[in-house]
Amino acid sequence: MDKSEKTFGFTIGPGSDEGSGPQELAYLNLVKLAAGTVINGRYRLEQLIGQGGFGIVFAALDLTLNSRLAVKFLNPRLAKNEKKFLRVKREINLSRQISDTRIIKIFSLEMWQGIHFLVMELAAGQSLKFHLKEKGQFSWPQFKNTFLQILEAVEVLHRHGIVHRDLKPANILIADEQKIKILDFGLAKAVDDIDKTSTVGEVVGSPYYMSPEQIRGETVDCRSDVYQLGLILYRALSGRHPFEHTSTMEVIFNQLNQRPEPIAAAGINLPRFLRFGLEKALEKSKARRFRDAGAMAHFFQRERLTRLSRLLHSLGRRPVKWALAGTALAALLALGYFTTFGSRAVHSLRNDGGVLEARNRFGVRLWLKDFS
């Protein structure tokens, strides 16, 4: 199984490289727990279903409610990292705000023998990442139902004012009867949340599925999720990520500057509305994308492109020529560009052992991110 694959709806994460402290050793020994072990007098462990550096997951039975669920023990290093542990708590709070079968449920955060664990919904299935790896690519008729379910699930988040920020195939579970579930709210954030779990300029997310504004460390909204949804659709229909087979640095650069190659270039014929929708979702400027997953879902459900949509989109792409009245105005506009857009734009990237640093044209650091 892929080291970051999902089974029963949980991110397992990369392999563990913990130290040898008492809590770390106790955590590593959890995998040796025998089936039938009861923790906190309530949860009977039935089967180990995943393990890694981020968590160890068991299928379990709630003896009080007589219901099956999952128990995910958290790596002690996570609890020691205040910022990361705050994200875990926020994930629980956001999960409790939403009652929807397409959103994985987290019931509680508890502790057993000094180790924190989550009590979660148990959802059997495989991730979209697994299905894409197995099948390679899908036609629109094959993928339509799954994608519309994904859009509708994310629409629920957006209606609650929540941005997921880490939508990718590994975080989408295809459960029984082809029903989807959205996983991993560790980076999710309320649009108006002032409780900072990431500092200004810190980059959070997965490089292959980060929006340009995420990479720049800017405030994100629902349109960042729209960009990630566009990348998921591109991957499913083309059989590849638009910036596949490139280094992390190249992926970051391309996400900021390069338009994805049209899928038609690979000989895949798509309906015009589908090409338009993909192009709109993957706009570098968030102002030109669908406003949220609801608007995106409405467009793809309709499966047609109106003349007005085509006209407005094409007008937005055409360079507008302005007659500047004198050099003073031209100089003022140029100064405005270089002191605003120019100062925020990524001018150079430096990779130092997996730590990526971006600077603007004046040499000022914009953000620093460890992708190692």
State the catalytic residues: 166
Query: Which residue, among 83, 243, 248, 232, has the nearest Cα to 151 in the 3D structure?
Result: 232
Across 219-243, b (16+ Cβ under 10 Å) vs e yields ebbbbbbbbbbbbbbbbbbbbbbbb
Separation between Cα atoms, residue 285 and residue 288, nearest integer Å: 6
- If you search the block for the tokens 């015009």, which residue do you land on? 272
Query: Which residue, among 215, 116, 98, has the nearest Cα to 157 in the 3D structure?
Result: 98
Q: What is the greatest pairwise CA distance in the chain?
A: 82
Query: Which residue, among 12, 22, 25, 26, has the nearest Cα to 70 in the 3D structure?
Result: 12
DSSP 242: T
**φ, ψ of residue 167 in degrees (nearest 5):** -75, 125
